[in-house]
Structure 1
Amino acid sequence: MKKTEKQMTLSSKVYETVKEKIISGEIAQGSKITEDSLSKEFGISRGPLREALRHLESDRLVNRIPHAGIRVVTLTKDLMKDVYVMREALEGMSARLAAENMTAKQVGELFSLLDAHEEEIHKKRGKLYFQNEGDLDFHYKIAEASNNNWLRDLLSGELYQLLRVSRHHTCQIPNRPHKALAEHRNIAMAIESRDPELAELLMRRHISGAWKQVEQVVLKLKY
């Protein structure tokens, strides 16, 4: 049966709201999510609600556990390590391909985006560097510019929201915002210089450095 426009709108609203709460940590990792509670919170029927939950599940933000219901993903040390190993490999290649394929206009937009990010960091007094979704995300723009459908599907699609959750850990680590921005600028300059090897190397170092810092945060968590 074809979904009505109203159902799709309600489903999208629940999906977007719950997604951002999970990514920001407002809904804690491992928390149980029930259809009853969400139905009451949003005042919607089970149909669009279940569609939203399926979308969250496909984003790997929630898991259906037998006899335990639906729970928010828990970023254990092992899971996060796997995510960062994946990020280093995929985003390194993404940066390499972006250096080969990005147009001059796209490169200019990349630097403009980083200028906007610098202003936001300044407004947050250097305490936060959390990028909004899609075209406002440095890593997303590079993945899109790679012109490789597999990389785009993984980095901008299937793994994207889970990557955003993992990145949320690093964006609040003291001194990380300014350091991350500087590393982003160096990657952008390598892309502008059409130096694929350097772009990949700098991106890999950027991701690896982020993991070394976030690992210390995860070690303090008891999952």
Structure 2
Amino acid sequence: MSDTEAPMSKADYVYHRLSREIRNAEIPGGTPLRATAVAERLGVSITPVREAFRRLERDRLISYERHHGATVIDLSDEALLEFYQVRAAVEGLGARLAAAVITRAELDQLWRLHESMVDNERKGRHELLGEQSRRLHLTITDIGGPAFLGAHVRSLHDSYPVPEGASLWLDPDAAKNHLAAHEQLCRALQVGDGHTAERIMVEHIEFSGGYRLGRRGPA
């Protein structure tokens, strides 16, 4: 932490901790959250927990009902399908735009991140891959659409907590397939082929949506 950086408040700490746990499926969709239990687990009073709950509700990560308390959002099949369709359209556009403007330094950054993911997959560190994939996707969209698309995609990613056990990065076969898609995507960006980059990104995200719907099983 720098000398000019303000220390994190207890409410910020609780918010960031719960946000990360929800988005990483450590607290899966449908889980009830009790403020007293969270306060005890995180070693804080009830007040910062309630403030954090309000922020998580604004982020649409939890819902709150009087007399029932807070619950982690669990998207319906229809909402989940829409989420991935919107992501595919917007991130596909971001990839196409990125191919036209990406710099050598930005491309090197993407390759380093991809190589780190390959190394983690090879060593069985699958729990690290989800966040690294998120960074790669956001980096590409930030490059292609720094004015609007990057912020829009970041908001989309932040609005959906991954269901327990549904992260494809925890599945060795799915992880290998997705790493292959990332490599193809980076190669398309490297040669400035926007149409191919867009197609790969769209197919990559649509596969993710199908995988997660499939993991839910029959209704």
TM-score bracket relative to the smaller structure: 0.7 to 0.9
Q: Is the 8 A contact 1:60 1:159 kept in 2?
A: no
Distance 1:133 1:10 in 2: 27
Give the direction of change, closer, same or farther, for the CA distance of 1:168–1:145 in structure 2 (3 Å limit): farther
User: Among the aligned pairs, what percent are the same residue?
Assistant: 25
Match of 2:143 among 142, 145, 166: 145
Distance 1:54 1:149 in 2: 28
Cα deviation, residue 33, structure 1: 1.2
Matches within 5 A, 1:129-168: 130-132=129-131, 137-156=135-154, 158-163=155-160, 165=162
Give the direction of change, closer, same or farther, for the CA distance of 1:101–1:57 in structure 2 (3 Å limit): farther
Q: Is the 8 A contact 2:60 2:159 kept in 1?
A: yes
Distance 2:190 2:166 in 1: 27
Give the direction of change, closer, same or farther, for the CA distance of 1:101–1:163 in structure 2 (3 Å limit): farther
- Matched to 1:60, the amino acid is R
Q: Is the 8 A contact 1:77 1:219 kept in 2?
A: no
Cα deviation, residue 210, structure 1: 1.9
Cα deviation, residue 155, structure 1: 1.2
Q: Is the 8 A contact 1:128 1:177 kept in 2?
A: no
Distance 1:55 1:149 in 2: 25
Q: Structure 1 regions of 5+ residues with no counterpart? A: none
Distance 2:90 2:33 in 1: 31
Give the direction of change, closer, same or farther, for the CA distance of 1:149–1:53 in structure 2 (3 Å limit): farther
- Matched to 2:205, the amino acid is I
2:73 corresponds to: 73
Q: Is the 8 A contact 1:24 1:168 kept in 2?
A: no
- Matched to 2:78, the amino acid is D
Distance 1:210 1:42 in 2: 33
Question: What is the DSSP-based 3-state SS (H/G/I as helix, E as strand, rest coil) of the residue aligned with 2:129?
Answer: coil
CA-to-partner distance for each residue in 1:92-144, whole Å, 9 max, x for gaps?
0111111122211001110111000000001117x66633269x721111122
1:103 corresponds to: 103
Match of 1:208 among 206, 211, 216: 206
The alignment yields a C-alpha RMSD, in angstroms, of: 2.5
1:191 corresponds to: 189
Matches within 5 A, 1:31-110: 31-110=31-110
Question: What is the DSSP-based 3-state SS (H/G/I as helix, E as strand, rest coil) of the residue aligned with 1:93?
Answer: helix
Q: TM-score, normalised by structure 2?
A: 0.85
